[in-house]
Structure 1
Amino acid sequence: MRYLLLFPFLFLLLHCGGDAPAGPPSFADRATARIQLNQVGYYPDQPIRFTYADTSYVGDPLQFRPATVFYVTDLSGDSTVHEGTLGDTLDWRELAGVVAQSTRIDPLPAGEYRIFIPEVGYSHPFRVAENVLREVFVGSVRGLYYQRAGQALPETYAGEYAREAGHPDTAVQFHPSSGREAGKTSSPGGWYDAGDFNKYVVNGAFPVGQLLALYEDVGDPAADGTLNIPESGNGRSDYLDEIKYELDWLLTMQDADGGVFHKLTTLKFAGMVMPRGATKPRFIVGKSTAATFDFAAAAAQAARVYREYDADYADRLLSAARHAWSWGIAHPAEFFRNPPDVSTGEYGDDNADDERAWAAAELFATTGEQEFYNDLQENPPRVRFGPGVGWTAYMGNLAAFTLLRHPDRVPREFHDRLRGQVITLADSLQLAVDGNAYRQPITGFGWGSNSDVANAAMFLAAAHRQTRNAAYLNAMRDCMNYLLGHNPNAVCYLTGFGTRSPMFIHHRQSAADGIDAPVPGLLSGGPNERQQDKADTRYRPGVAPMQSWADQTPSYASNEICLNWNAPLTYVAGYLEAHQ
């Protein structure tokens, strides 16, 4: 297990370059974390935004020594391609823990570059290129392949991350909370939800909906043969093949009465072992309104998307969605809470209005039937955004996005009202991006804050689809810059990408496989000022919210991975690639 305590302030000290002569010297191997930028790269028409910050400065900002000039060099440092002046000094200590100078450079020609600041050092390298986020997109989808349950990952597809199968889930016990008498059922496949080995319907259906939205918005983003997965070469979309692995499992979680069980889990979390080594009994736990409506929504949307892929499969999905809808309408307040003997992820919710609206929207978009539109009129989608508006409430936004995606079916007045709400909220997100030193839209940093940034970018995409206003697209790019390195931790939060990414994610296979680098393509949860794991994780005392992140395996509150964090990142990378 890799429990090296590599927390941000120590990492910054180890990676800061020393003093350098005035003017670009020869290439320096050590990059400084004080120059923060997107470590993957920028499109040829995209301005380069970076921040020079004293990441551990806590004194009087009047004593901060601002830099004046910077240089853009080639990778060797021998050739200067641009010289400029740094921006004004900004005091961002309260939120970001830094005194900073943020700077914008006009787009650069295709190539590979570094920023050099005299007496500070070199930045991490970055590229300017067409399709610069293509590998990020593909890597984030392949991250889902590495999360497959019940299936061995052979070297042919997984490379050095090959492993034996774990959790066949062909004889899973019914927990008393399921409402079923003692017995067993088969519920194989699906993706492990996060750093643990459990599978959750709420947090399986929600990411599936976000992933399918990308397919509807840009077409097939990963055609057959793109992802190098076992299904590659079958003549069908690799993207839909990978999502189908999760859909097939979700279908097994529907009971005969149409209701959907909440989760498949052990009673307690497994230790830091490989999947094959986690052998405790697994249970079907609970049945809930939220899980049932989320399932109905994802299945109805998938029925639309998979119609040309496999018509019989699409029919099966739509039938399952209808059955789930009927159960949800009859049981509107079956809210899940962990039974006393279960301590794994709860994914509880005391209000299913957003889930119901999403299910109605997807069923209406797929069938055009009046029943579902009538329900939407009585329970319209709540268009909103804020930190933590993820698996509990973002479904209302997904409902609005779907209805706007099908204007031919939605009455004009209802459509225009939703359109106005989406654009108004997107405008506020864009303003928040413009007013932030790191050009991202959130000021509250809780569990999965990186997914909040990605979800905000997905919201901006919805407004872009309505207006084709390039300002929304640019704000999306800024959000991606933040996730890929333009942040006060100077970390590309996607494993395996950039030159400084998480090495000790809270992820059991990555901790137990004996490989130095973690499984690639997984998005770290990001800064979390609440630090629910502080009993096991070393944070700097008094650390600012945006620096409250620890690259330590025990840090489930800031450095775990999760399906509903990867999904919006995949959406945003795929959308930006399609609209570069």
Structure 2
Amino acid sequence: MKKLSILYFIFPLFCFAQHSDFIHIDQFGYRTNATKVAVISNPEIGFNSDLNYTPNSTLEVRNALTDNIVFSGTIQQWNNGNIHSQSGDIGWWFDFSSVITNGSYYIFDTSTNESSAIFEVNDTVYDNIIKTTSKMFYYNRAGIEKAEPYVLAPYVDAISFTQDTAARDIYDQDNTTTTKDMSGGWFDAGDYNKYVTFTESTVHNLLWAFTENPQIFGDDFNIPESDNGIPDLIDEIKWELDWLLKMINTDGSVHIKMGSRNYNENTSTPPSINTNTRYYGPTCTSAAISTSSVLAHASKVLSQFTSLTTYAQTLEDQAILCWNWALPYLNTDTLQENCDDGAIVAGDADKTIEEQREMAITAAIYLYALTGNNTYDQYLIDNIDDSAVIADGAWNNYNISNIDALLHYTTLNTVNTALKTTIINSAQTAASNNYSEYFQFNTLDLYRGFTNDWIYHWGSNQAKANTGNLNLIFKKYNINTSSTSSYNLKAKEMLHYFHGVNPLDLVYLSNMNSYGAENSIKEIYHTWFYDGSQWDNEDITDYGPAPGFLVGGANGDYTANPNLIPPYNQPLQKSYLDFNTGYPDNSWEFSEPAIYYQSAYIRLLAAVSRMEEDDTLNNDDFTILEKTLKLVPNPSKNTFKIETPNLNYANVNIINLNGQKVLELSNFDTRKLIDVSNLADGLYIVSVEVNGQLTNLKFIKN
């Protein structure tokens, strides 16, 4: 069996044992000052219920290179030992946030010899992960050679889909006069087709990922455009924009998708050996509206780069053209809801009337932000109730593109005051009521990334990622500022879910073991890495799929094969199987990647990787208590007090930078002063526990 020739770290022999199925951590690691909480599980319901684990009350954190103990602490039982319904497990939390020295570590249970995966602690722990997962879009490019050094040797491939330069109308297949150049763009998901309407959330999320955290997206991601003076994420987005421009007709109408006419065409691996003619679909109102939205947003972002000024103007012109073509359909209520008739096989790219009207609100906002033309503002004023976010209070993870645009509108220099107030008040109400627990960290999920049961459907990983993004959007726009720390923690825990803090102990990214994960996805449903191909499974075939593809995730709605357990008839978070077989098992309902899953994840990853609060002294952004704690005074020479509303007694531990407890106070009266006069000068972690919930604050003794 061939293995990828990437070496991550070399560890002593004692670290090569298989890590525990019961100790769940972010297998890549944690930023220095981030919350670090391992989940300890004992399965009760589901396919692994025959396993049993009773952890020691005290666990250790050990240096993976020296095996020295750097921290030991007690575990806290989750929810009084009750079973977590979404996973079928009972469990405990182990907070090791005081481990803040850069290094490689693992968690160890001395009573059972169970150990976690090895993880890193440093502030750049996710930098290589961002580069690798962003490369997914390069692997999914059509019309370009995949060559070293831009891809790993097993994934070298000649130019794919050169026939797209001569695509034809699906309704007039033999007419050579319909030939158009529709080359470029990204494969949408597991097939090789390309869909205009599916780019909307994808490109918007990527543009916001860059805008919110530009420092993480360098010009060194190892793609052909690297070192051209433009951040590589922008270059990657431009690849898709170039294709979108080709899908626009001179009147502003837009073809909705392009691909193959039959399921048995263009289904070979690798991509370059597919030569069947491909076709473009009909023009649809949904395609024009989504394209207008994406191009307007992209024009604004790309215009900041001098070398792209002319290109940005082209994007603006085409965005306006598409809007003007679609506007009569919007005004006369004649939008096309059943435009994609399936003549091009695979996914239905249609959008409902309601979805198109909401996309139009998003497009109008970006056009107004771009041009300042009041006609777009007036459209918003007249049609704001087309947004379910405003009309129905649907501030949730399914409306991220519209939420981004609405809150962005409130920051523009000249806006309608009443509309701005309506938007902000609606967001404030949603955050305050929080009826569906979309906002803020809570303790409802043993695995710490709570989302409601209905989110575990086909593509649940996109919904999970966008839940984290939703919280960071509310933080960015100062919606309920008292919740900032809780928004941050919610986002971080969503990220850890993807990296192994889930009941499957699985990193939901393909082939990432060489990048630090010890248990990552081995198979994805993707035509290139098809079942039985040499790229099928990294353990049983030559290579496995390319690294960094995010799969769809757990799907509690799966019914295709009741004999396949898992994923059938499992607790929601266990409704996943690492496989890629097609019909009738329908693995695409779990293991298919998609550009919109990927973009949501990358936006979340970029935000957490550069979260400023991690570096702010005395910040309690990582608290898991829903209270505000302060240490006063801080710094202090002799004494300090834990200042908090409505809290009298707590367990308090003071821990030095070596992970040693230097002071332990049980059931301490927080109205009293804590004497630290005997401690050496330096930085300490003050860990405060109330009812099994912990918060960690930094304290300076001087």
TM range (shorter): 0.7 to 0.9
Contact 1:202–1:290 (8 Å) recurs in 2: yes
CA deviation after TM superposition for structure 1 residue 503, in Å: 0.8
**Residue number among 325, 341, 358 corresponding to 1:354 in the alignment:** 358
Count of residue pairs the alignment pairs up: 549
The structure whose RCO (Cα within 8 Å, separation 6+) is larger is: 1
Alignment of 1:389-400 (within 5 A): 389=398, 393-400=399-406
Could you tell me which amino acid in structure 2 is paired with residue 45 of structure 1?
Answer: N
Residues 397 and 138 of structure 1, relative CA distance in 2, 3 Å threshold: same
**Partner of residue 16, structure 1:** none
The aligned counterpart of 1:345 is: 347
The one-character-per-residue Cα deviations of 1:306-359 (angstroms, maximum 9, x if unpaired) are 113211111111111011111221223112454254431113321212211110
Give the corresponding residue for 2:377.
373
In 1: Cα distance, 2:442 partner to 2:563 partner: 33
For 1:543, give the aligned amino acid.
Q
Match of 2:236 in 1: 242
2:115 corresponds to which letter in structure 1?
Y
Q: Is residue 170–residue 344 contact of structure 2 (8 Å, CA) maintained in 1? A: no
| Partners of 1:302 and 1:576 in 2: CA distance | 23
Instruction: Give the superposition deviation at 1:410.
Output: 2.6
1:301 aligned residue (293, 297, 304): 297
Partner residue in 2 for 1:254: 248
Structure 1 Cα separation of the partners of residues 425 and 95 of structure 2: 31
How far apart, in 1, do the equivalents of 2:543 and 2:562 lie? 25
Q: 1:264 maps to what in 2?
A: 258
| Residue 451 of structure 2 is aligned to residue 438 of structure 1 | no
Query: Is the aligned partner of 1:185 residue 2:180?
Result: yes
Q: Map 1:95-494 onto structure 2 (within 5 A).
A: 95-109=86-100, 110-117=102-109, 118-119=111-112, 121-160=114-153, 161-168=155-162, 169-176=164-171, 183-219=178-214, 221-224=216-219, 226-269=220-263, 270-271=266-267, 273-309=269-305, 310-332=308-330, 333-339=335-341, 341-350=343-352, 351=354, 352-380=356-384, 381-383=387-389, 384-386=394-396, 389=398, 393-404=399-410, 406-426=411-431, 428=434, 429-431=438-440, 433-443=442-452, 444=454, 445-467=456-478, 469-494=484-509
Is the alpha carbon distance of 1:28 and 1:425 closer, same or farther for their aligned partners in structure 2, counting shifts above 3 Å?
A: farther
Instruction: Look up the SS of the partner of 1:487 in the other structure.
Output: coil
TM-score by length of structure 1 reads 0.88
Measured in 2, the distance between the counterparts of 1:540 and 1:579 equals 35
2:660 matched to which residue of 1?
Answer: none
Q: Residues of 1 paired with 2:260 and 2:590: CA distance?
A: 23
Which of 549, 552, 559 lines up with 1:525 in the alignment? 552
Match of 1:38 among 3, 6, 26: 26
Deviation track 1:461-496 (CA, whole Å, cap 9, x = no partner) reads 111112272332222111111111111111111222
| More off after superposition, 444-453 vs 130-139 | 130-139
CA distance in 1: counterparts of 2:327 and 2:567, whole angstroms: 49
Of 394-403 and 378-387, deviating more is 378-387
Does 2:72 align with 1:83? yes
CA distance 1:272–1:398, change in 2 (3 Å): farther
Structure 1 or 2, whichever has the larger Rg, is 2
> What's the offset of the Cα at 1:172?
0.7
Contact 2:440 2:489 in 1 (8 A): no
Q: Match of 1:155, SS? A: coil
**Is the alpha carbon distance of 1:426 and 1:67 closer, same or farther for their aligned partners in structure 2, counting shifts above 3 Å?**
farther
504 and 339 in structure 1: CA distance in 2 versus 1, 3 angstrom threshold: same
Aligned to 1:557: 589
1:177–1:286 contact (8 Å) kept in structure 2: no
CA 1:540–1:573: 2 relative to 1, 3 Å: closer
- Paired with 1:216 and 1:455, the residues of 2 have a C-alpha distance of 17
Where 1:187 maps in the other structure, the secondary structure is coil
- Deviations along 1:40-75, whole A, 9 cap, x unmatched? 1111111211211124645999x9846422111122
Q: Output the CA distance in 1 between the equivalents of 2:125 and 2:560.
A: 35
1: CA distance between counterparts of 2:270 and 2:576?
A: 25
Matches of 2:236 and 2:57 in 1, distance apart? 49
- Once the two structures are TM-superposed, the CA of residue 101 in structure 1 deviates from its matched residue by 1.8
Q: Counting helix residues as a fraction of each chain, which structure ranks higher?
A: 1
Counterparts of 1:536 and 1:253, CA distance in 2: 44
Unaligned residue ranges in structure 1 (runs of 5+): 3-24
Relative to the length of structure 2, the TM-score reads 0.73
Distance, in Å, in 1 between the alignment partners of 2:495 and 2:255 is 35
Question: Residues 533 and 557 of structure 1 are in contact (CA less than 8 Å); yes or no, is this contact kept in structure 2?
Answer: no
Secondary structure, counterpart of 1:194 in structure 2: coil
- RMSD in angstroms over aligned alpha carbons? 2.7
**Matched residues in 1 for 2:402 and 2:83: separation?**
33
Q: Distance in 1 between matches of 2:430 and 2:549?
A: 28
Residue type of the partner of 2:327? I
1:184-216 deviations in whole A, cap 9, x for unaligned?
Answer: 211111111112111111112321111111222
Question: Is this contact kept in 2: 1:268–1:344, CA < 8 A?
Answer: no
Given that residues 46 and 107 in structure 1 are in contact (C-alpha distance below 8 angstroms), is that contact kept between their aligned partners in structure 2? Answer: no
SS at the partner of 1:95?
coil
